[in-house]
């Protein structure tokens, strides 16, 4: 089964690629790796939420936003090389805009990791960083970037 077929089986559709907010591109390929820029939880071109996790945004809500951000990162990969050319997810980096004292960043970024596991199975097992930050662009609660190996 191809990855695009797997997405359909899961009832998922890759969105359009989010327009960059500054001077960068959504993804670049170097050799057999694709590096995505940080992706925010845009849905139909609109940021799904703003605020800090542990204050305005609950950890469970943020986990869903991390999932959306990962789906947006996959859209950037797909637009560059085609989703069916992915051979494995190498690394996920998740940033979480965190209220003071919030330390649940790993659970939030699980939203991205779990999505990648659902779609890619064993090829979705990856290295990861989950980082708490004071602020993210345009008030986003999360940002996710991927390193993906392609054929």
- Per-residue pLDDT tens over the stretch 85-139: 999 999 999 999 999 999 999 999 999 999 999 999 999 999 999 999 999 999 9
pLDDT score of 1 more than 90 = no
Pairing verdict, β 33-36 and 42-43 = unpaired
Q: What is the pLDDT of residue 21?
A: 86
pTM for this prediction = 0.97
Mean pLDDT computed over 42-59: 97
Closest by alpha carbon to 78, among 20, 32, 16, 122? 16
Q: What is the pLDDT of residue 72?
A: 98
Q: What is the pLDDT of residue 136?
A: 98
Mean pLDDT computed over 6-22: 94
Q: What is the pLDDT of residue 56?
A: 97
What whole-number distance in Å separates Cα of residue 127 and Cα of residue 40? 20
pLDDT score of 64 more than 90 = yes
- List, in order of start, the domains of the chain with CATH numbers: 34-150 (3.30.1330.40)
What whole-number distance in Å separates Cα of residue 127 and Cα of residue 16? 26
Mean pLDDT computed over 35-64: 97
Give residue 38's pLDDT band: very low, low, confident or very high (50, 70, 90): very high
């Amino acid at each position: 089964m191809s990855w695009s077929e797997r997405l359909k089986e899961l009832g998922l559709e890759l969105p359009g690629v989010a327009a960059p907010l500054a001077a960068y591109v959504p993804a670049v390929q170097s050799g057999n790796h694709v590096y995505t820029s940080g992706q925010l939880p845009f849905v139909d071109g609109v940021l799904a939420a703003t605020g800090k996790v542990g204050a305005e945004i609950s950890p469970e809500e943020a986990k869903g936003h991390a999932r959306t951000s990962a789906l947006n990162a996959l859209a950037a990969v797909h637009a560059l090389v085609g989703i069916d050319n992915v051979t494995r997810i190498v690394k996920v980096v998740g940033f979480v805009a965190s209220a003071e004292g919030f330390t649940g960043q790993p659970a939030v970024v699980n939203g991205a990791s779990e999505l990648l596991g659902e779609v890619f199975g064993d090829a979705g097992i990856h290295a990861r960083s989950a980082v708490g930050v004071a602020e993210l662009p345009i008030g986003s609660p999360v940002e996710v970037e991927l390193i993906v190996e392609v054929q």
